[in-house]
Amino acid sequence: MIRFIWILLLCGFSMLFAEGKSKGLATSQTQVEQDTLISDSLEESRAESDSEMIKSPWFETLTWPFAHIVQPIFNAAVFPFSAPLHYAVKNNVLETGVNMFSFGKEKNIFIYPTMNLRPGASTLLGFMYRHRNLLLSSDYFVFGSDYYANGDWSLTTRYTKRNVFNSEFFWGAIWRYSADRNAVAILPGGKESFTYADSSYSLETRIGRPMPFVKNMDFELNAKFSMFQGDVPDVEDSVADLITYEGDYEFNRYDRGLYQDYFSIPLRVSVSYDDLNAPFMPTTGSRIVLAWTYSWVGKYKGNNTYDGVSNRYNHDFQVIDFVAQHYFFMGTTATNYGLSSAEGRKNRKFYTDFSWDETLRLWRPENVKSTLFNRRVIAVQLRARQMWEQEEGGAPFTAFSTINARYPLRGYLSSYADFATLGLSAEYRWPIDRLVDGVVFNEYAFYGRTWHSFAMENLLNSWGFGVRVRRPDMYLFRLQLGFHGLHGVSFICTVAPEFQ
């Protein structure tokens, strides 16, 4: 509860200081890469101007807890992550690596490894091939493959084209294939799960365009064909049959399509608003997406069907998705969020020369207070999903809403599923080097039958800290530790961003 109050206070303070100060942030984020010749006198003048802003007594009182307690704790929390990354930035390891994976005269081809370090079979290594302007101007081709710790593998191919026939329309297609003998089916109403063997593939296409006469809004139509080919797992003891939950919850594997083959054809219509000032390191703006999906589901087939039971209900379902993100920037109009090369070197020295005297100087309240409301970003996301069955008891198990580390709920290794989910995430970010951000996050999530019937026992909380590594034009990876209460720790090392 205390962590949640801190997040609300930070959001409130950020709105006070972000109003009227974020207009000057429309400058391109690529200036961070070019700003390598900033003089020390300019940096000192910035510090002086910032110090003038904090002389009022009420401001001193308001910022005292953050200056003396919160920010020093945040700096200490991310130090184990930031120190090795400081060395990497200082010796240009990250930029050298990016350049090493870049090809072509215009550096429009990227070939690089991917990773996701998690306990068990979900640990993966893979590669990604990205090519801009492959066939036509403004097109984008992506091909990737992942190999998991247990020998499973997956393939993904994506192609997108903007300004189709010199119009404002964009078009894209995605093909996926997955061979997973340890796929997990989360039973609705909790986290109980069963494994199953799955060989699935899908073909998805989408088309959209900016909405006329409405700035920063897009309309998109999405159609997809998915084929699920399920089977019982190697371990027979983990086979689900008929399970009854508390209240009205009941899971019948024949009604839900578990271990069976079926196809689905979802049709999705979405409207989005996006005025973020940068795609990979946003500091101001909002992103809002509202989508409705109707899925036609075919009859269950295969060796594990039960005549008279598997197809007694209509399997179709529909879904409403809502995502709202907002970024609050705390700083002056003359200061970009990213650190310059000179500022990065200065900040790096504080972390790498970690003697006792340097520690006291780094955490001295007046030093922390001078930059407390400068170059800070609070990122907030609200995410909700509701699924309705066309006939009660007939929707496949893959239709249910799921809460997991990507929701995000980063402190949990397990997943939760139900008809409805609702999540609120807040992140406090600050630059600790030119390409590295410190991150402290706090997240809450509900699951239940409907949005208006959530129970307090289904409330989940996750919190943690870490770092995210990015360039102004590219998101690289993140290293984070997630906790839920005092029940263990989850280590996250992935190239996937925090928010979708």
Q: Is residue 310 part of a domain?
A: yes
Q: What total of structural domains would you count in the chain?
A: 2
Measured CA distances, 14 to 10, 65, 194, 329, 438 (Å):
6, 15, 44, 7, 17
Query: Residue 269 pLDDT more than 80?
Result: yes
Is the residue at 148 inside a domain? no
The pLDDT of residue 10: 40
Portion of the chain with pLDDT greater than 90, in percent: 35
Q: Are residues 323 and 401 in the same domain?
A: yes
Lowest mean pLDDT among 87-101, 121-135, 379-393: 87-101
Q: Is residue 107 part of a domain?
A: no
Q: How many CA atoms lie within 13 A of 450 on its CB side?
A: 4
> In degrees rounded to 5, what are phi and psi of residue 272?
-135, 150
Higher pLDDT, 341 or 313: 313
> Do 269 and 339 belong together in one domain?
no
Is the domain of 170 the same as that of 252? yes
Give the mean model confidence (pLDDT) for residues 234-242.
Answer: 63
Please indicate, yes or no, whether residues 200 and 252 belong to a single structural domain of this protein: yes
Assigned domain for 484 exists: no
Verify that 212 and 267 share a domain, yes or no.
yes
Are residues 33 and 52 part of one domain?
yes
Domain assignment present for 18: yes
Structural domain includes residue 478:
no
> Whole-number mean pLDDT of the chain?
78
Domain extent for 62: 2-93+330-370
Closest to 433 in 3D by CA, of 85, 127, 42 = 85
Both 271 and 343 in one domain: the answer is no
Q: Is residue 250 part of a domain?
A: yes
Q: Do 67 and 211 belong to one domain?
A: no
Check whether residue 323 and residue 451 sit in a common domain. Answer: yes
Residue with tokens 């404002």: 168
Q: Does pLDDT of 384 surpass 90?
A: yes
Q: What is the pLDDT of residues 440-481, one digit of tens each?
A: 999 999 999 998 888 888 999 999 988 888 876 677 788 888
27-85 pLDDT tens trace: 333 333 344 333 344 444 444 444 444 455 665 666 666 666 666 666 666 666 666 66
For residues 140 and 104, give the distance between their C-alpha atoms in angstroms, rounded to a whole number.
14
pLDDT at 94: 63
DSSP character string of 134-190:
SSSTTEEEEEEEEEETTS-EEEEEEEEEESGGGSS-EEEEEEEEEEEEEEEEEPTTB
Which two structure tokens, joined as six digits, stand for 108?
A: 């429009």
- My answer on whether 296 and 387 are in the same domain is yes
Q: Residues 387, 396: contact at Cβ < 8 Å?
A: no
pTM for this prediction = 0.75
365 and 451 both lie in a single domain: no
Most confident of 117-131, 267-281, 360-374: 267-281
Judge whether 324 lies within some domain: yes
Region 204-216 average pLDDT:
93
Q: Are residues 276 and 364 in the same domain?
A: no
For residue 438, the model assigns a pLDDT of: 84
Average of pLDDT values for 117-123?
Answer: 72
Question: In this predicted structure, what is the pLDDT of residue 477?
Answer: 82
